[in-house]
Chains A and B, each alone.
Chain A
Amino acid sequence: NAGVMQNPRHLVRRRGQEARLRCSPMKGHSHVYWYRQLPEEGLKFMVYLQKENIIDESGMPKERFSAEFPKEGPSILRIQQVVRGDSAAYFCASSADRGRTGELFFGEGSRLTVL
């Protein structure tokens, strides 16, 4: 009974490299959310996706960040040309539906460190 699976759990990149974070939602869930958490900060919404569609990307930085949730396979959050300020924990969550009854189930997070 797998929950939300994220990998890698820890990722170290040098400035200018690319980071790819993957998220497999819970079985039966078609809604995926990405959040970023900086040290001593709360969770900041980045993007909400359904299969093959970006529903809301209002929290995504305009440059270097992109997300996808293909028909087959996990959702991917991609950060190009990483900078030190990208160092954070990136959490993926999934839900079975949209709307006020939606309970989010979180993965364990991917912790990105940019050297």
Chain B
Amino acid sequence: QKEVEQNSGPLSVPEGAIASLNCTYSDRGSQSFFWYRQYSGKSPELIMFIYSNGDKEDGRFTAQLNKASQYVSLLIRDSQPSDSATYLCAVNDYKLTFGKGTLLTVNP
């Protein structure tokens, strides 16, 4: 049974700061990793995916993967109040296994 662990938070950062969200996974054989954002009462939406060790950047978002440590992170630079949401880490084989999510609050 694959497990994905996230700190539930809440994580609170001031506007303009870097928000760092972390995730660990149990299956060493996992190959692909996803970050979804879910606003309250809404459906999840994909932010980024990463397959290879290292960093992957997309605008203000950077995903980091360390397969040896079984660790995935998401950095959000220049955080905005509109980034306030729950961030879900997921591991994919042919279906996504989600963590419980980390609630991020960006304070103006």
Judge if B17 is at the interface, Cβ distance under 8 Å.
Answer: no
**A residues within 8 A CB of B31?**
100
Identify the closest chain B residue to A3 (Cβ): B43
On chain B, the residues within 8 Å of A99 by CB distance are 94
Does A91 lie within 8 Å of B92, measured CB to CB? Answer: no
Whether B99 lies near A56 (C-beta < 8 A) is no
Known contacts being A48-B94, A48-B95, is A104 close to B46, with CB within 8 Å? Answer: yes
- The yes or no answer to B62 lying at the interface (CB within 8 A) is no
Q: A43-B88, A100-B31, A103-B49 are in contact. Are A33 and B43 (CB under 8 A)?
A: no
Fill in one digit per residue for B88-100: 1 if any A CB lies within 8 Å of its CB, else 0. 1000111111111
How many angstroms from the CA of A93 to the CA of B90 in the assembled complex?
14
> Across the interface, which residues of B come within 8 angstroms of A108, CB to CB?
42-43
Within the complex, the shortest CB–CB distance from A93 to chain B, in Å, comes to: 8
Contact-residue size bin, chain B (C-beta under 8 Å from the other chain): 20 to 34
Does A42 lie at the interface of the complex (its beta carbon under 8 Å from any beta carbon of B)?
Answer: yes
- The answer to whether A56 touches B44, judged by C-beta atoms less than 8 angstroms apart, is no
Q: How far is the CB of A29 from chain B (nearest CB, A)?
A: 14
Chain A, range 31-62, C-beta contacts under 8 Å to B: 33, 35, 41-45, 48, 55-56
CA distance A3 to B92 in the complex (A): 21
Chain A positions within 8 Å of B100 at CB level: 41-42
With A and B bound together, what is the CA distance between A48 and B100 in angstroms? 20
A108 to B98, CA, bound (A): 17
Residue of B nearest to A41 (CB): B100
**CB within 8 Å of B: which A76-115 residues:** 91, 93, 98-109
Would you mind naming 18 contact pairs between A and B with Cβ atoms under 8 Å apart? A35-B98, A42-B88, A42-B100, A43-B44, A43-B98, A44-B98, A45-B96, A48-B94, A48-B95, A91-B44, A100-B31, A100-B51, A103-B34, A104-B96, A106-B43, A107-B43, A108-B42, A108-B43
Interface residues of B (CB under 8 A from A): 31-32, 34, 42-46, 49, 51, 88, 92-101
Residues of A within 8 A of B (CB): 33, 35, 41-45, 48, 55-56, 91, 93, 98-109
